[in-house]
Structure 1
Amino acid sequence: MDKIIILDFGSQYTQLIARKIRELGVYAEIVPFNRYFDKTDVKGIILSGSPSSIYDNDAPLPSREIFEIGLPILGICYGMQVIAKFFSGKIAPSKKREYGPAIIRLKKKNELIDEEIDGSVVWMSHGDRLEELPEGFESVAYTDNSPFAVVQNTKRRIWAVQFHPEVHHSKKGKQILARFVFDICGAEANWNMENFLETQINQIRETVKNKRVIGAVSGGVDSSVVAVLMNKAIGENFIGVFVNNGLLRKNEAQYVLESFKKLGVNIRYVDASELFLERLKGVIDPEKKRKIIGHTFIDVFREIAEEYDDVEFLAQGTLYPDVIESVSVKGPSATIKSHHNVGGLPKDLNFKLIEPLRELFKDEVRRLGKKLGLDDEFINRHPFPGPGLAIRVIGEITQERLNVLREADAIVIEEIKKASVYNDVWQAFAVLLPISTVGVMGDKRTYENVVALRVVESVDGMTADWSRLPYELLGRISNRVINEVEGVNRVVYDISSKPPSTIEWE
């Protein structure tokens, strides 16, 4: 099977490169910038972006051997700087840093950029830029702020771009990657979700052998897909556990248990809500919330595992956006926030982790779910964070505040579905703010809670924009929440995008 290797220098967008290439039907594998990789069936190498500067004392750099093995190479953003450094080009801080859209202009016809791509929007994100070409390289495209936006050395089979073709905002970025993968590297489109499924099942069986795996099941699409996948791979050796942490949505526990019963997957139910809420009492800092929740989940799983003699593994529905926002795994990426099942796990974890979805995005997980036979209701559920309502109750968590949020959130989802827009948006939910405002109800003064409504549109969760819902729908939601949820007298709408904001408030 043909594959493209992506050397990861820590960019938040590295996995997007792999995702775009996999969408083209070619297998893409991410490896750390400084790690050996098997060259079997490799057709090309891509050097990712990075939060680092090439001038940093500890700037990540690959082995020079990368440029000597004769495979086509594409450098992206920081990857361009790496190429320039190895071949004695000049990199300098740009007089005008470039973050956002730019127009690519064709300077010379080449294999990577053609007339169809000329004049299209590309997405820039850099402070340094190439100022002087290395010997043997030529500029073939530019932008107003980057004279060397695309460079090439056809003799060495090296190309580099200053922008990020992998992000959604580069309008013809996927086409650029396709030209590199197919026209330059000569790869064949011989990878698909069936290959991924078969590979994961084989890997799970090889890893687990005759041991048992305990699985964290929440009812969301990620953990549901993992549960069905594990059940398919190892059958009764998978112990699915649904933990009620007291931070679930309205009627969530009943829905989850009934749904898995229909799927034929045995799920063990554990009500640990009192334990979670006791440990979260008085905690306000969101990072502490996440870590407490992660540690408490592990404590619960450890206790259950002690009832069995041969549980060695913990299966989780971790996705790649969770990983790259939490910790650097394959490259030196920046931490944005810890996820309870990634950065929130204790260092003395006694389980070996199995995370078969770790390098997939939500839309890919949904496609995998279809292959596993999950129905549309499961597959199309909006993402729900592992820490649950703990990170949607801003500030202190109490049973009273959780109840207010549950009722408000149920109304939001009900109205979004009634308006037939549920499947058109990425995520819709309510957030309970840690403030009270003055209102008037029945000619009397009130001083009650504020609920924020968050509805976003996204392709993969890496970037998102707020949804322009009809005013009539917003009005119905606000009216119902204020009138039906005791303790709320104001509803506001969050109109911030990601970045600079995140989708969740904490």
Structure 2
Amino acid sequence: MQEKIIILDFGSQTTQLIGRRVRELDTYCEILPYNKFPEDDQNIKGVILSGSPFSVYDKDAFKADLGRIWGKYPILGICYGAQFMAYSNGGKVEPAGSREYGRAHLSSFSKENKLFRGIKENTQVWMSHGDTITSIPSNFKIIASTDEVKIAAYQVESENIWGVQFHPEVYHTEEGTQLLRNFVVEICGCKQDWSPSSFIETTVAQLREQLKDDKVILALSGGVDSSVAAVLLNKAIGKNLTCIFVDHGMLRKNEFENVMRDYEHLGLNVIGVNAHDKFFGELAGVTEPERKRKIIGKGFIDVFDEEARKIKDVKWLAQGTIYPDCIESLSITGTVIKSHHNVGGLPEKMNLKLCEPLRLLFKDEVRRVGRELGMMEHLITRHPFPGPGLAVRILGDITPEKVSILQNADDIFIRGLREWGLYDKVWQAGVVLLPVQSVGVMGDERTYERAVALRAVTSTDAMTADWAKLPYDFLAKISNEIINKVKGVNRVVYDISSKPPATIEWE
């Protein structure tokens, strides 16, 4: 059985990042709500307690039963996790004089302590807390300090239990990976045997056992998640898998034909459906973003359902749901940031059992699995693309003419990124058609035509994103080419907003 680290989520925005860092150490981990520690799991090697938006004194603060894990497993508390352990054992946590946020340096730490082995002096760490631990129980000992924070880290004496007030999971903590490695590998004793090849071997065997000779359908989008899920299932059950690729008319230029050709090359059994008329008809005159999304979502389900019913004796619906989808959808705070098209919906309507072979993987792990499966690199590195397609990159109502304009502008931008060697350096890119027109001059004539915005961001997981610093020469060339070649556009702007506060997509 697969050994694992359990990460108890107290609501921190960086909990997923802790999971990613542990997985990067070739160690399997699971992120669970703070109050859902599993019963009698013999494969647990250690526990990490995440940060939280709450203070330990808040009446709504999340409180876990530490008695279930204390002394039974190695524990690492991060930020709120460290404060909660100290507070629960009689220590004192108080509001900091000013919010401690940003870079700090460990001015002193115990180099011989197992948690800090191999870490250089005065290493940079990242703080993000409003409260601070001001005193610790008598059986706790301070093992690290900064100039501003006396109790930056502690260990419970004679126990494999540590707390750190900084965030080792974020990139700004210079040796955070080393600290996590010390905990996961040296302290918890994990063998680091979680790899793409081991995942494929285990998952294919599990799929064969789960599905046997049953027929399975899967909705393809052309994206990396559904594509990898399809190839993995094809490896497990072959001809019993049927994939359905719905073209709602708002894909990128020539994308439907290109993706169908790729899937044929992969040996997948794919049904392609042209549903342009249906979607354009239902979207006519609709301008509100969420309503556009719902119309496209329902329309997709209707088309998929109609095609699926033509296949006899289907018992399973497969989806490319990945781990961040599941974590966000089961958010313990109850706050919905966005709905995920893969989580829920289709099974209720179609009365099928659900199969999600990638639900344990982060996006970067999905790509690693795809490479291990021998998939084409351009499929694996394909940028994320919204399910509603270009409909959420057209501000205002949707018409075939607007889609055509946007497809042509987008094609120039994406091809340019590839030709200049920039495509793989950005997380996501696209063009947005704005609901404004501007005055221009072409030749001797004044024009009054549309404006488009180029959007390109860098990110590791889409939770946060920064605008990509693309070369000026490149932007100038793309702007010139779009204005010269795309009829109806006379102005190009570049979006330099980061997430937060902006989102990656405009709608």
Normalising to structure 2: TM-score of the pair? 0.92
> Contact 1:431–1:454 at 8 Å: present in 2 too?
yes
**How far does the alpha carbon of each residue in 1:20-47 deviate from its partner, in whole angstroms, 9 at most, with x for none?**
2222122222233222424313221111
Specify the code of the residue in structure 2 equivalent to 1:318. Answer: T
SS at match of 1:123: strand
1:444 offset after TM fit, Å? 3.0
Query: Bigger relative contact order, structure 1 or 2, given CA contacts below 8 A and separation 6+?
Result: 1
1:138 offset after TM fit, Å? 2.5
SS at match of 1:68: coil
Matches within 5 A, 1:298-447: 298-324=301-327, 326-329=328-331, 331-332=332-333, 334-342=335-343, 350-447=351-448
For the pair 1:11 / 2:12, whether they are aligned, the reply is: yes
> Contact 2:119–2:178 at 8 Å: present in 1 too?
no
Specify the code of the residue in structure 2 equivalent to 1:430. Answer: V
1:219 offset after TM fit, Å? 1.5
1:213 offset after TM fit, Å? 1.8
State the match for 2:236 in structure 1: 233
> C-alpha separation between the residues in 1 aligned to 2:335 and 2:206?
29
* TM-aligned CA distance change 1:112 to 1:352, over 3 Å: same
> C-alpha separation between the residues in 2 aligned to 1:14 and 1:435?
40
> Contact 1:106–1:115 at 8 Å: present in 2 too?
no
2:201 pairs with 198, 203, 210, which one?
Answer: 198
Specify the code of the residue in structure 1 equivalent to 2:161. Answer: I
Specify the code of the residue in structure 1 equivalent to 2:46. Answer: G
Range with greater deviation from structure 2 (185-194 or 276-285): 276-285
> C-alpha separation between the residues in 1 aligned to 2:220 and 2:54?
37
Specify the code of the residue in structure 1 equivalent to 2:415. Answer: E
State the match for 1:22 in structure 2: 23
Range with greater deviation from structure 2 (41-50 or 307-316): 307-316
> C-alpha separation between the residues in 2 aligned to 1:130 and 1:152?
13
**How far does the alpha carbon of each residue in 1:126-153 deviate from its partner, in whole angstroms, 9 at most, with x for none?**
3333233234222222345433222221
For the pair 1:80 / 2:73, whether they are aligned, the reply is: no
* TM-aligned CA distance change 1:505 to 1:344, over 3 Å: farther
Q: What is the aligned-residue RMSD (CA, Å)?
A: 2.5
**How far does the alpha carbon of each residue in 1:77-133 deviate from its partner, in whole angstroms, 9 at most, with x for none?**
221232123212223333322343333333433222357344333333333332332
State the match for 2:116 in structure 1: 113
1:158 offset after TM fit, Å? 1.2
SS at match of 1:435: strand
1:409 offset after TM fit, Å? 0.5
Gaps spanning 5+ residues in structure 2: where?
A: none
> Contact 2:429–2:457 at 8 Å: present in 1 too?
yes
Specify the code of the residue in structure 2 equivalent to 1:205. Answer: R
Specify the code of the residue in structure 2 equivalent to 1:65. Answer: G
**How far does the alpha carbon of each residue in 1:340-396 deviate from its partner, in whole angstroms, 9 at most, with x for none?**
334777975644332222332322111100111102122222222222112222232
Range with greater deviation from structure 2 (37-46 or 251-260): 37-46
* TM-aligned CA distance change 1:141 to 1:343, over 3 Å: farther
**How far does the alpha carbon of each residue in 1:317-343 deviate from its partner, in whole angstroms, 9 at most, with x for none?**
23334445x5235x4364322233347
State the match for 2:72 in structure 1: 70
* TM-aligned CA distance change 1:342 to 1:120, over 3 Å: farther
SS at match of 1:187: coil
1:279 offset after TM fit, Å? 3.1
For the pair 1:31 / 2:36, whether they are aligned, the reply is: no
> Contact 1:295–1:345 at 8 Å: present in 2 too?
no
For the pair 1:270 / 2:273, whether they are aligned, the reply is: yes
> Contact 1:295–1:344 at 8 Å: present in 2 too?
no
State the match for 1:161 in structure 2: 164
* TM-aligned CA distance change 1:230 to 1:299, over 3 Å: same
Specify the code of the residue in structure 1 equivalent to 2:104. Answer: A
> Contact 1:290–1:340 at 8 Å: present in 2 too?
no
State the match for 2:212 in structure 1: 209
1:268 offset after TM fit, Å? 0.4
Normalising to structure 1: TM-score of the pair? 0.92
> Contact 2:108–2:146 at 8 Å: present in 1 too?
no
Specify the code of the residue in structure 1 equivalent to 2:241. Answer: F
1:493 offset after TM fit, Å? 1.3
> Contact 1:106–1:114 at 8 Å: present in 2 too?
no
**How far does the alpha carbon of each residue in 1:287-339 deviate from its partner, in whole angstroms, 9 at most, with x for none?**
33333333322222222232234323322223334445x5235x436432223
State the match for 2:42 in structure 1: 40
> C-alpha separation between the residues in 1 aligned to 2:350 and 2:106?
49
> C-alpha separation between the residues in 2 aligned to 1:343 and 1:280?
23
For the pair 1:185 / 2:185, whether they are aligned, the reply is: no
Gaps spanning 5+ residues in structure 1: where?
A: none
> Contact 1:103–1:119 at 8 Å: present in 2 too?
yes
SS at match of 1:104: strand
